Amino acid sequence: MAKALVAMSGGVDSTVSVLLAREAGYEAEGVTLLMHGDTDVSGAAAAAAACGVPHRVLDMRERFARCVSGRMVEEYAAGRTPNPCVDCNRSVKTGFLADYARENGFDRLVTGHYARTGELDGRHALRVAAVPEKDQSYVLYPLSQEQLAMLWLPLGELDKRAVREYAARRGLTSASAPDSQDICFLPDGDYAAYVTARVPCAEGDFTDSTGRVLGRHRGHVHYTVGQRRGLGVAAEERLYVLSKDAARNAVVLGRESELMTRELQVERINWVSIAPPQAPLHAMIRTRYRQRETGGEITPLPQGGALVRFDCPVRAGAPGQAAVFYDSEGYVLGGGTIV
């Protein structure tokens, strides 16, 4: 019988994934990653017991601190806006577990992500969930071909209601549990407090794009590109954060029209469902997790980067965030980090 390692948090998605893996004929075993000091593995252990599968815990705290939470602090301190969930899936959660499963005799890694895997022109492919509202393909774009080959996502064809109904029919206590927050180590979502507790964050100047001082800010890590609320600067028209200059500790403000752009540059691209292209290609581009895609042309650059030219002006993406490319069928062509 084929063996499946199932990533378990104790929530309804991962617990249902265990049961679906067993129904598909796999000999399933749960695994939970101890990622930070607040990680509670008791719920996952109880869920595994309720499903009748073995359960193991892997201590990933050092790797998580280095690759996810520590990197988030470094990126914010440098004036960028990272996505810790992308980093986690790349280095700790899905990517690591796919390698771990293969190296430890499992045939599949199963997770509760809402996305789909498959094949496209002879390559292992990643695709948006059948129900786009829950799609999580954006945070999975860094996975390699070898990692995608190991991955099965049984919730990719389902919506949340169907998952909860399935859990309720099976008598799972997690059936009515609330959804987990995106950033697991920030239970209150206050990333700025987390960063400023670890690195100095001095007050500085708000300026306009010409360098004229408009006021004082609390420290550039408290702001992100596109932000309008909480600036505390009096002006005749609404002001938005256009950019951050960590070297000068300056936050540049301007009108909403100044946020609009027709192009951006992306680095560290991972081509997923297609081989690295040798010529420009048109795709749909998402520059934030819960954002609708916008059409544009992607021109590959040397050293693994690309220039993205949008079909129409869009809000500038925040440096450090991911830009993910999709085709018309929802396949993830690739993605990278906005410069």
Which three-class secondary structure string do you get for the chain?
A: CCEEEEECCCCHHHHHHHHHHHHCCCEEEEEEEECCCCCCCHHHHHHHHHHCCCEEEEECHHHHHHHHHHHHHHHHHCCCCCCHHHHHHHHCCHHHHHHHHHHCCCCEEECCCCEEEEEECCEEEEEECCCHHHCCHHHHCCCCHHHHHHEECCCCCCCHHHHHHHHHHCCCHHHHCCCCCCCCCCCCCCHHHHHHCCCCCCCEEEECCCCCEEEEECCHHHCCCCCCCCCCCCCCCCCEEEEEECCCCEEEEECHHHHEEEEEEEEEEEECCCCCCCCCEEEEEECCCCCCCEEEEEEEEHHHEEEEEEEEEEECCCCCCEEEEECCCCEEEEEEEEC
Confidence of residue 179 (pLDDT cuts 50, 70, 90): confident
pLDDT exceeds cutoff 80 at 177: no
What pLDDT does residue 188 have?
A: 78
- Res. 181 pLDDT band, cuts 50 70 90: low
Q: What is the rounded CA–CA span in Å between residue 8 and residue 235?
A: 50
pLDDT over 70 (residue 133): yes
Contact 252, 243 (CB under 8 A): yes
Q: Which of 184 and 126 is assigned the larger pLDDT?
A: 126
- State the pLDDT at residue 290: 85
pLDDT score for 46:
95
38 has a pLDDT exceeding 90: no
Q: Is residue 295 over pLDDT 80?
A: yes
What tokens appear for 158 in the block?
Answer: 């389902």
pLDDT tens, residue by residue, 299-332: 999 889 999 999 999 998 999 999 999 999 999 9
Catalytic: 85?
Answer: no
pLDDT digits (tens, 9 = 90+) for 217-257: 999 999 999 999 999 998 889 999 999 999 999 999 999 99
pTM to 2 decimals? Answer: 0.94
Q: Which of 67, 85, 88, 201 is catalytic?
A: 88
Domains parsed from the chain with CATH numbers: 3-176 (3.40.50.620), 200-254 (2.30.30.280), 260-338 (2.40.30.10)
Q: Looking at residue 146, what is its pLDDT?
A: 98
Strand pairing of 305-315 and 250-254? unpaired
Average confidence score pLDDT of the chain: 95
**Of 51, 67, 184, 201, catalytic:** 184
Check whether 180 has a pLDDT greater than 80: no
Annotation says 201 is catalytic: no
Residue 200 has pLDDT above 70, yes or no: yes
Other beta carbons within 10 angstroms of residue 105's beta carbon come to 8
Whether residue 182 is predicted with pLDDT greater than 70 in this model: the reply is no
